[in-house]
Structure 1
């Protein structure tokens, strides 16, 4: 049951309808939306016989990420093969649906809080795509303890080092932070301190505070200047975090069951609470008593 000041948002009916359309309503659930060892490519198996269904289900899964941020990476991967889906792409898509069949009642839990700091977790999986060697960026923005924005996408350029890949992700996250701050300003919500970005790459963290351009960073100079400018003006703090505490890891790569569950919980994706009729009746009696005595 939800406590005072908590709100749970889920898409149970939408996901059940989606499973019905895919004829997977009675499928056996799986613990993760994607195998940690899976490598999707464009030319590994026979073409899937119903590409229209594939594209339709992927589009609907993109909408499901509104309450299931933990599947963002998996949906992003299968969406990259919508033009010419193969049989093993369909298998990967079915696994996401099988995962949702066991977690359709899960959703985001928002908690009332006086802590309105903007906290960001940013990560990148360097050269993760085996075909074009582009990296995958992932970041999530928290307002206090509640996630308000998350993203998983393939980078537009090939990074020559893990530091460059992480720094491109920092720059993208920084741009989104500016948008969030502007929105909070319009809502008249002041920030007690500058937003904090947590990154698990020590080189990227050191570069963000170092105004001296090194020869190895010239190929991503624009991103470097953008982040360094915000840090030098005190508009952004970039702090190093251990890899096993990096929540954005779930947005950049398929994880083992243990790691996936840990980061999923930190994203505040939890089962829908059971409604208690007894509690509702007690609250009704208390309200009646209060009105009567007033």
Structure 2
């Protein structure tokens, strides 16, 4: 759904009047939850996603908001902020194939030989390895774009985190590692997140965490990672360098 000249404050007041509350985690997400209805209302600038458990209520909400603001209903979700949504009989698949293709074209990697893994096994990147890049802005731009890609590609989160640690002074070694990751993406462009419809009577949380102890050759700090699944669906993940040296 798209909005035309919508005042954020007016929309917020209207939603609050209807019983929506702001999410603690994200102020742009509004939630309505009662015994009959559970609706999520996500706003980004002039774009909106509405989903929930009651189709009739959502249709009524659309009509009500349309009487207050200038709305354009774009139908079922297919594309939002570079993220593609595909539905099938098993659930919902989120991917960023077009986003990856644009990035590969920009970096001239489309014809490069593919690799099976995002990073070279056993190789630890160091700030003192390689020669300083003459054009570090390109490295920073590509790594910044890769950060957004981790929204639907959790398997590259660790690699992207490693590359981000050298944006202040990237070298040829870091750029080669970045290009390797791009070559991996070139062969896995249609990978994404698959959200299956779970058995609502048997919802179970699973969490996994690990760290590669003292892995950084420069300061001996570890990198920690975790992932959280709700039944079969991956809902949260992270990989980051620990702020202190631990034993």
For Structure 1 versus Structure 2, the TM-score category normalised by the shorter chain is 0.5 to 0.7
Q: Which runs of 5+ in 2 are unaligned?
A: 1-85
CA distance in 1, matches of 2:178, 2:235: 26
Q: Give the alignment partner of residue 243 of structure 2, picking from 156, 165, 173.
A: 156
> How many Å apart are 1:43 and its aligned residue?
1.2
* Offset of residue 37 of structure 1: 2.0
Query: Which has the higher relative contact order, 1 or 2, with Cα contacts under 8 A spaced 6 or more apart?
Result: 1
SS in structure 1 opposite 2:133?
coil
**Runs of 4+ off more than 4 Å:** none
SS class of match (2:178) = helix
The answer on 1:7 being equivalent to 2:67 is no
Aligned match of 1:145: 232
Whole-angstrom CA distance in 2 between matches of 1:5 and 1:98? 30
- Contact 2:101-2:189 at 8 Å conserved across structures: yes
CA offsets 1:233-288 (integer angstroms, 9 cap, x no match): xxxxxxxxxxxxxxxxxxxxxxxxxxxxxxxxxxxxxxxxxxxxxxxxxxxxxxxx
Which residue is equivalent to 1:89? 174
Where 1:24 maps in the other structure, the secondary structure is coil
In 2: Cα distance, 1:106 partner to 1:64 partner: 11
Quote the Cα distance in structure 2 between the aligned partners of 1:105 and 1:95.
Answer: 17
Does the aligned pair in 1 maintain the 2:94–2:194 contact within 8 Å? yes
Q: State the secondary structure of the residue aligned to 1:122.
A: strand
Q: For residues 63 and 99 of structure 1, what CA distance do their matches in structure 2 show? A: 16
Under a length normalisation based on structure 1, what TM-score does the superposition of the two structures give? Answer: 0.53
**Which structure shows the higher strand fraction?**
2
Report the equivalent of 2:165. Answer: 80
What do the CA deviations read for 1:69-103 (whole angstroms, capped 9, x no partner)? 00011100011000000000000000000000000
Contact 2:124 2:215 in 1 (8 A): no
Q: Match of 1:98, SS? A: helix
Aligned to 1:53: 138
Is the partner of 1:45 in helix, strand or coil? coil
Q: CA deviation at 1:151?
A: 0.1
The residue aligned with 1:118 is: 205
Cα distance in 2 between the residues matched to 1:50 and 1:11? 27
Aligned positions, number: 160
Once the 2 structures are TM-superposed, how far is the Cα of residue 45 of structure 1 from its aligned partner?
A: 1.4
Per the alignment, residue 197 of structure 1 pairs with none
Unaligned runs of 5+ in 1: 161-294
